[in-house]
Chain A
Amino acid sequence: MSDDDDDFVTYGTALDPLDEDNLPRKKPVTIEDQIAVDAQGRRRFHGAFTGGFSAGYFNSVGSRDGWRPQQFKSTRSSKASNVTQRPEDFMDDEDVGEFGIAPTAIRATQEYSAQTSRGTKRERSKASSDGPIPGTPVLHELLKPAKERVGVTLLKKMGWRPGQGVGPRLTKKEKKQLKHHQEKVKVYGCFLPSQQTKSSGSDDECSDDEFAEITFAPDDYEPYRCKPKDNYFGIGYSGLDRRPVLSQHFNLFDEPAFKVSDKNKKFSIKGQAFGVGAFEAEDDDIYAREDMSLYDSQLGPEKKEKSRWSKNSKDTECLEGFVKSKGRLEGKKIFAAPTLPQNFDPIHKIRKSRFAPLPAELNKHVQRHEMNAESRSKILNDDMPSIINSQSSKEAKSTSVAVKVIERTLNLHGKEQIAARKQLEESQPKKSSMSWLDKISATTFVKGEVMGSKPMIQGCLQDPKTFAALTNDNQTASSEKNLVKPTFADLDKQNRFKQYLNYTESERKLKFGSCQPLSMTEWERDQEVAEFEKAAKLCENIDKIVASEKENEQVKEPEKSIDLNKLSEKERMLHAARIKMFGKLTRMDIEWKPVKIVCVRFNIAEPSVGVALEGVQKKKFSIFDNVVWDEMSKFENGKSLERELYIQPSTSRFLSVDEEPQKITSNLSMPQQKGMTDDEKSFKDSYDKVFGKEMKFDNKVTEDEKTTNNQDNQSCSQEKTNVDEKMDLFKAIFLDSSDEDEEETSKSENLEKNDEKLKTVLLGKSTAEINVQRNDSPPRGIFAEIDLDSLLKKPLMQNTQKVDQSVEDKDLNEKKSLNESKSLNESKSTEKIEDSSSEDDPMDVYGPALPKELVQSDATSLKPIFTKKNVDDKLWIEKKDKKSKKDKKKHKHKERSRSKSKKSKKDKKHKS
């Protein structure tokens, strides 16, 4: 139908036909590409990295580079004003505009605006479809529901509900009164008073009728304030005030809390009124401020506040914020325990089957009940004198030994010495009963003498019987049975084992328990008993073998038990191997560390890596190491002193005197040169160098003198002086200081005495003979190497030499005094003369010179050469080769002093 085209009527202009090729594709803009733009078409929001919220140069704030800090500029002409920045300074103009974030235009807030809907959500158009006209009904838009007034909303917020009254509660009476009151009120305006009343009266009535259904106003609602918990304390606990105490302000002039007015006079009590009574405990709350208001000042029952709120809080004894529950919790019902049948046994016995008879009763649980008083007392440590005493004595023993030795070595001049010596003299005849204790005390030296033997030291053995028993046990065990005792590391254990062996088979179980210390547990006891049992059996076996072997040898050596003990390990193993008891008896398991490379080569992880190697710690040497207590008594009969002095405890074998007297003497008399090891020799040599050889042997002195003469004079003489110094030191330590005093006061008497002494000494009587008190036992420990006797004897010889010297010295000194004033060279020459003249090289004797007076007296005295009194005024002779100008000055000075001293000496001589 071509006509159809004409029939059409076109309205408007037709769109250009779409070019299908260039059809622009409609791409929906993605969310991330959508940009909020402001009025100027600028981007409104920037990302956090591009300047944030509507900021930057391209908006109205800041510069191209961003926020520019405010510049402070102040000149004389234009003073900088104090500019306070406002938030608007940082906001764009648009923010302040109508749609900005802070619009400045005045408008009603949302609440007061007509909009009902508070939320941002648009109201849903509803029920539009049911009507004939689509869309929201026009009337709905026109007529808007009246909004609540502000007052109502406020009331509602305060807890008021529509239908409730408002205002305080009034009784009808009150209402009437109120009305009356209102009537009286003047009324302004054109109301007629009558009208007014009428109206009011009618109003009243009607109001009563009207509001009949209206309830009373609700109680004032006191909003419960939730305290947020901002601490970590327990609920209800308020910690101490964190503020320091002193920071609080104390009002010293506070009004007294308690005022009593009496006859126009006002008494006021302030502060803590009564303090704390004797029976009260203070410090309940030390930071509380005591106040009189806390005290009752009136008799009578306490007033109760009549408040609903207060009542509530007072009644409940709950923590703050808790409410006492009204309903009671149902308590758990506790049923009484069933009564046990009379023959009930608390130990379960397992039967093999239901019909099997009960197994034999186990005795274990009965043990507890069968304990008798004795065994219980054992555990309770009650009335066990024997055990306790023996233990305590053991302890005393161990402590007293060390303590005594220390005391003795330290308190050489003390009163204890005298007392000890007295004791000594008293107990001298009891020498036979010497114990190891005396041997320790023997290492002390008093007055150059060795302390004699001493029997038991008092107090160390409170219970001698037990000790005796102990020692007896040892002896009997070793002598009678001649048992080979396996050694236990613990000494107490060893003792216990000895005792165990002493008991007969039957006795063991009964008695041995009492020997074990109470500190041991039952289990330990049992273990020990089992151990001992085993060991005892083994001992017996070995003993048989040993005995059979011994029969052949027929050598009786009680001390051999020690050696056997050492051997016993191997012997035991051999024995076990012989009787084919392979296993534990023949096995030793020792730690062994393979070298790392071996482990690597064996492809085995190194055992005990990181574990510190058990270094073989060298035992600290102590005096007690060499002291074998039992053997100590063997030395008591040592004869000659000289011989004994050379015995070293370390080298000497402990042999019994009774059995091998020959051996012992040979052993004792054996000079050190023979038995000395290399170390000892080297030590000896060095020692000789230091202390001088001639110290050792008095009878060799003459020989030594020769040798010394032969030797280089200087070195030799130096040694001698050294010796002298040492001797002085020793004398200062070991000699009685009273000697010096004596010397001063009664010299003449002394001279005679000394004469005698000298004679005895020169005649060759040993000091040992003179000193009965002398301890014959060899020195040991640190004293082992020191020849103390030679120290004592040496001065004699020295003195005799010095006597000769002194005569010469006298002359020399006089010469010197003359020469010294002259020149150094000359003085040297004089000393050279000295050298030639003196045998003993006084050239090298430096230090204070010998005073003449003393020299004379020394000719006959045994006393040390240097005494106190002369120290001050001595002539100072310097060593020859060390002379210097300084020395010269000294000499001059000394000369002067010498002249004085000479005078004083002469005076003294006269006096004496």
Chain B
Amino acid sequence: MDSEYTCKRLYCNQGAIRSVNFSEDGAYCITSGSSKKVKLWNPYKSTCLKTYAGHANEVMDAVSSCDQSQIVSCSMDKSVILWDVIAGTPVRRLRCHTGIVTTVRFNELSTIIVSGSQDNSVMLWDARSKAITPVQVLPDAKDSISSVRVSDREILTASYDGFIRRYDIREGRLVTDCMGEIVTCASFTKDNRCVLVSCADGTIKLIDRDTGELLSEYEGLKKSDYCIESSVNKDDNIVLSGSSDGRIWMWNLISKKVHPIISIAVHPSKNCFLGANSQDILLWEKVESE
């Protein structure tokens, strides 16, 4: 089964990009950069749709709501801003964090904003109300929060203290799993049965959600100081991770093998090249925009 990955390159003119996220339906993507701006893109057409400026410092993370009418971003200025997508103006500024807000997420219905910060706390904000204080603070982490993920009934936080915490709202329980290493990212798999955990020691662990047991471990990454994200693809068969060496690592979820790229072909005229992954061909194409 051959498949093809095409690679486009977008120049964002945003300084160092701290995070990139697809919008809810995947039609757009949102980048947050060190230039204190959030940008909305159509990555397929390589066009910048909107720029949202208002943060006082580097933007760390930005995601869109489920109806794509709002964007929430967090920044080093310790604030979380809720943006109106069309107007491009901030709807609300939420500043109760006492540290850099590293990550932010909407819940499934985009009614709650979950933000994680370097002040070791996770705050839940009501996106519907005009209250400027968080609805709930989750102060359990002992070190800064590296990632937050929200499923339909759970909030998954990863912290530098080496723990991932899963707040089950339906059960009313907090399940803490010790990873033994700084956790840079923790995310649910698509089937919501496992948790993919990136550790700072370069390993990515697949943890069973219910038992906390280690299902598999993906190695090969170098130990780095970056807070690198990881995820599984939509079919739950490939584990993807960024890396400090500038590559995207892909593992087969089950065989734990890195897909080696053996063959490389460079486009004769365009700035484009092909790579042959085990069963796929990757087409990387540099697309200059702006």
Chain B 102-160 interface residues, beta-carbon cutoff 8 Å to A: 107-109, 111-112, 124, 126-128, 135-136, 152-153
Name the distance in Å between B105's Cβ and chain A's nearest Cβ. Answer: 13
Q: Determine whether A788 belongs to the interface, using a CB cutoff of 8 Å to chain B.
A: no
Name the distance in Å between B83's Cβ and chain A's nearest Cβ. Answer: 19
Q: Determine whether B246 belongs to the interface, using a CB cutoff of 8 Å to chain A.
A: no
Q: How far is the CA of A186 from the CA of B167 in the complex (A)?
A: 127
B128's partner among A584, A601, A607 (CB-CB below 8 A) is A601
Contact in complex: B212, A604 (CB < 8 Å): no
Name the distance in Å between B181's Cβ and chain A's nearest Cβ. Answer: 7
Knowing A584-B212, A587-B212 touch, does A602 contact B136 (C-beta < 8 A)?
no
Across-interface contacts of A594 in B (CB, < 8 A)? 136, 167, 169, 172
Chain A 591-611 interface residues, beta-carbon cutoff 8 Å to B: 591-595, 597-599, 601-608
Q: Determine whether A838 belongs to the interface, using a CB cutoff of 8 Å to chain B.
A: no
Knowing A582-B207, A598-B135, A602-B112 touch, does A590 contact B176 (C-beta < 8 A)?
yes
Question: Which chain A residue has the least Cβ–Cβ distance from B170?
Answer: A604
Contact in complex: B176, A602 (CB < 8 Å): no
Question: Which chain A residue has the least Cβ–Cβ distance from B179?
Answer: A577
Contact in complex: A589, B173 (CB < 8 Å): yes
Q: How far is the CA of A590 from the CA of B163 in the complex (A)?
A: 14
Chain A: residues with Cβ within 8 Å of the partner, total of 31
Across-interface contacts of A91 in B (CB, < 8 A)? none
Contact in complex: A590, B179 (CB < 8 Å): no
Q: How far is the CA of A606 from the CA of B170 in the complex (A)?
A: 7
Q: Determine whether B213 belongs to the interface, using a CB cutoff of 8 Å to chain A.
A: yes
Q: Determine whether A588 belongs to the interface, using a CB cutoff of 8 Å to chain B.
A: yes
Q: Determine whether A578 belongs to the interface, using a CB cutoff of 8 Å to chain B.
A: yes
Across-interface contacts of A592 in B (CB, < 8 A)? 167-168, 172-174
Q: Determine whether B55 belongs to the interface, using a CB cutoff of 8 Å to chain A.
A: no
Knowing A577-B180, A604-B153 touch, does A583 contact B214 (C-beta < 8 A)?
yes
Contact in complex: A588, B169 (CB < 8 Å): no
Contact in complex: A598, B177 (CB < 8 Å): no
Contact in complex: A577, B181 (CB < 8 Å): yes
Q: Determine whether A456 belongs to the interface, using a CB cutoff of 8 Å to chain B.
A: no
Contact in complex: B162, A577 (CB < 8 Å): yes
Contact in complex: B179, A601 (CB < 8 Å): no
Name the distance in Å between B35's Cβ and chain A's nearest Cβ. Answer: 32
Q: Determine whether B56 belongs to the interface, using a CB cutoff of 8 Å to chain A.
A: no
Name the distance in Å between A425's Cβ and chain B's nearest Cβ. Answer: 55
Contact in complex: A573, B172 (CB < 8 Å): no
A587's partner among B112, B126, B168, B176 (CB-CB below 8 A) is B176
Across-interface contacts of A573 in B (CB, < 8 A)? 178, 180
Knowing A593-B172, A597-B126, A601-B128 touch, does A576 contact B135 (C-beta < 8 A)?
no
Q: How far is the CA of A608 from the CA of B173 in the complex (A)?
A: 10
Knowing A580-B214, A582-B212, A583-B214 touch, does A589 contact B174 (C-beta < 8 A)?
yes
Knowing A574-B162, A587-B212, A590-B176 touch, does A602 contact B171 (C-beta < 8 A)?
no
Across-interface contacts of B205 in A (CB, < 8 A)? 582
Contact in complex: B211, A607 (CB < 8 Å): no
Across-interface contacts of B217 in A (CB, < 8 A)? 580
Interface residues as binary, B24-64 with A (CB distance below 8 Å gives 1, 0 otherwise): 00000000000000000000000000000000000000000
Question: Which chain B residue has the least Cβ–Cβ distance from A579?
Answer: B180
Contact in complex: B136, A605 (CB < 8 Å): no
Contact in complex: B172, A607 (CB < 8 Å): yes
Contact in complex: A587, B172 (CB < 8 Å): no
Q: Determine whether A474 belongs to the interface, using a CB cutoff of 8 Å to chain B.
A: no
Across-interface contacts of B91 in A (CB, < 8 A)? none
Name the distance in Å between B251's Cβ and chain A's nearest Cβ. Answer: 17
Across-interface contacts of B214 in A (CB, < 8 A)? 580, 582-583
Interface residues as binary, A36-47 with B (CB distance below 8 Å gives 1, 0 otherwise): 000000000000
Across-interface contacts of B127 in A (CB, < 8 A)? 601
Chain A 244-296 interface residues, beta-carbon cutoff 8 Å to B: none
Q: How far is the CA of A589 from the CA of B214 in the complex (A)?
A: 17
Name the distance in Å between B60's Cβ and chain A's nearest Cβ. Answer: 23
Name the distance in Å between B157's Cβ and chain A's nearest Cβ. Answer: 12
Q: Determine whether A586 belongs to the interface, using a CB cutoff of 8 Å to chain B.
A: yes
Name the distance in Å between A613's Cβ and chain B's nearest Cβ. Answer: 11
Contact in complex: B213, A591 (CB < 8 Å): no
Contact in complex: B124, A595 (CB < 8 Å): yes
Contact in complex: B124, A587 (CB < 8 Å): no
Question: Which chain B residue has the least Cβ–Cβ distance from A578?
Answer: B180
Q: How far is the CA of A681 from the CA of B124 in the complex (A)?
A: 39
A574's partner among B126, B168, B178 (CB-CB below 8 A) is B178
Across-interface contacts of A587 in B (CB, < 8 A)? 175-178, 211-212
Q: How far is the CA of A591 from the CA of B168 in the complex (A)?
A: 10
Contact in complex: A602, B169 (CB < 8 Å): yes
Question: Which chain A residue has the least Cβ–Cβ distance from B152?
Answer: A602
Contact in complex: B162, A602 (CB < 8 Å): no
Question: Which chain A residue has the least Cβ–Cβ distance from B129?
Answer: A597
Contact in complex: A586, B177 (CB < 8 Å): yes
Knowing A593-B172, A594-B169, A607-B169 touch, does A601 contact B177 (C-beta < 8 A)?
no
Knowing A577-B181, A594-B167, A598-B136 touch, does A582 contact B213 (C-beta < 8 A)?
yes
Interface residues as binary, A545-581 with B (CB distance below 8 Å gives 1, 0 otherwise): 0000000000000000000000000100110111010
Contact in complex: B181, A583 (CB < 8 Å): no
Name the distance in Å between A81's Cβ and chain B's nearest Cβ. Answer: 90
Contact in complex: B172, A583 (CB < 8 Å): no
Contact in complex: B112, A601 (CB < 8 Å): yes
Contact in complex: A595, B136 (CB < 8 Å): yes
Contact in complex: B153, A602 (CB < 8 Å): yes
Across-interface contacts of A603 in B (CB, < 8 A)? 109
Knowing A574-B178, A582-B205 touch, does A590 contact B173 (C-beta < 8 A)?
yes
Q: How far is the CA of A601 from the CA of B211 in the complex (A)?
A: 28
Name the distance in Å between B116's Cβ and chain A's nearest Cβ. Answer: 15
Question: Which chain A residue has the least Cβ–Cβ distance from B109?
Answer: A603
Across-interface contacts of B168 in A (CB, < 8 A)? 592
Knowing A582-B205, A601-B112 touch, does A607 contact B175 (C-beta < 8 A)?
no
B178's partner among A586, A589, A599 (CB-CB below 8 A) is A586
A589's partner among B112, B124, B128, B175 (CB-CB below 8 A) is B175
Q: Which of B111, B135, B178, B212 has the most CB of A within 10 A?
A: B178
Q: Which of B112, B152, B180 has the most CB of A within 10 A?
A: B180
Question: Which chain B residue has the least Cβ–Cβ distance from A582?
Answer: B214
Knowing A595-B136, A598-B136 touch, does A576 contact B178 (C-beta < 8 A)?
yes
Knowing A598-B112, A598-B124 touch, does A604 contact B169 (C-beta < 8 A)?
yes
Name the distance in Å between A837's Cβ and chain B's nearest Cβ. Answer: 64
Across-interface contacts of A607 in B (CB, < 8 A)? 169-173
Across-interface contacts of A578 in B (CB, < 8 A)? 180
A586's partner among B153, B169, B170, B212 (CB-CB below 8 A) is B212
Q: Which of A591, A594, A595 has the most CB of B within 10 A?
A: A594
Name the distance in Å between B203's Cβ and chain A's nearest Cβ. Answer: 10
Contact in complex: B178, A601 (CB < 8 Å): no
Question: Which chain B residue has the least Cβ–Cβ distance from A606?
Answer: B172
Chain A 660-696 interface residues, beta-carbon cutoff 8 Å to B: none
Contact in complex: A586, B179 (CB < 8 Å): yes
Contact in complex: B111, A582 (CB < 8 Å): no
Name the distance in Å between A581's Cβ and chain B's nearest Cβ. Answer: 8
Question: Which chain B residue has the least Cβ–Cβ distance from A574?
Answer: B180
Across-interface contacts of A597 in B (CB, < 8 A)? 126, 135-136
Across-interface contacts of A580 in B (CB, < 8 A)? 214, 217
Q: How far is the CA of A608 from the CA of B169 in the complex (A)?
A: 11
Name the distance in Å between A822's Cβ and chain B's nearest Cβ. Answer: 74
Across-interface contacts of A586 in B (CB, < 8 A)? 177-180, 212
Task: List 21 contacting pairs A-B, 8 Å CB cutoff, sorted by A.
Answer: A573-B178, A576-B178, A577-B180, A577-B181, A584-B211, A586-B178, A587-B176, A590-B176, A592-B168, A592-B174, A595-B136, A597-B126, A598-B135, A601-B109, A602-B107, A602-B109, A602-B111, A606-B172, A607-B169, A607-B171, A607-B173
Can you name 19 extra interface pairs (CB under 8 A) apart from A589-B176, A590-B174, A601-B135? A573-B180, A577-B178, A580-B217, A582-B205, A582-B213, A583-B214, A584-B211, A586-B178, A589-B173, A591-B173, A592-B167, A592-B168, A592-B172, A594-B172, A601-B126, A601-B127, A602-B111, A602-B152, A605-B170
